[in-house]
Structure 1
Amino acid sequence: MSTFASSDPKTALMNQVRQEAAVQNARQLVEKLNEHCFERCIPKPGSSLSKGEETCFSQCMEKYMGAWNTVSRQYIGRIQKEAGSMGGTSL
């Protein structure tokens, strides 16, 4: 019973760190989307988007997010593999 109690704060802290990392990741993704897709697809912002701008932005976002997710999965897999080989805990 004491083992569970002693690991509970550690688990809570790890969960909090994971959540904060996820929020930071989302912020970074939105920032990169704005930098890359907005500047590429909407060269002269106005009061509304043209159909072409909407299509370009939507396709750019889908491609960028797909690439982002692929890289993230590979990175997490690599970290988990390295942590496992060193006897550490997985993410």
Structure 2
Amino acid sequence: MAHARSPQDAVATAHRAVEEEADQRAACCGRVGGSRRRPPEIMDSFSSPSSAGSTASTEHLMEQIKAQLAQAYAQEFLETVGNKCFAKCVTKPGTSLSGSESSCISRCVDRYIEATGIVSRALFSSQR
């Protein structure tokens, strides 16, 4: 049985789950019809004479993009979970959450994270 956690713990767990999913998405992104395709600007940098020097900067750029995508996904995920769980658990909004509302939100977030992880793992394992 899941124990009640603070909202901060739930957010930290959600953030870790989102980072893990972003890593999985990054590992498989760009797959189209079984082949890896890169955007033209990245392909151009590999075909240029100075590609040896730009490989490190391209990798750095890809890491930055990956981090930005993970952050955007985390924000969207937390908004969605927050809205759904708040709507489900808080029937009469007031100035603060009751203990039962807080534990309901925590359980809801935990279930949502668990379900999202299961779906993501199934989706990404079937793509390999």
Residues 42/63 of structure 1: CA separation in 2 closer, same or farther (3 Å cut): same
Unaligned runs of at least 5 residues, structure 2:
1-49
Q: Which residue pairs with 1:27 in the alignment?
A: 75
Partner of 1:49: helix, strand, or coil? coil
2:72 partner letter? Q
With CA pairs under 8 Å and 6+ residues apart, which has the higher RCO, 1 or 2?
2
For residue 50 of structure 1, the aligned residue among 90, 95, 98 is 98
Unaligned runs of at least 5 residues, structure 1:
82-91
Runs of 4+ residues deviating >6 angstroms: none
Root-mean-square deviation (CA, aligned residues, Å) is 2.1
Measure how far apart 1:70 and its partner are.
Answer: 2.9
Indicate the percent of aligned positions where both proteins have the same amino acid. Answer: 33
For residue 71 of structure 1, the aligned residue among 97, 100, 119 is 119
How high is the TM-score relative to the length of structure 1? 0.72
Instruction: Determine which structure has the larger helix proportion and give its number.
Output: 1
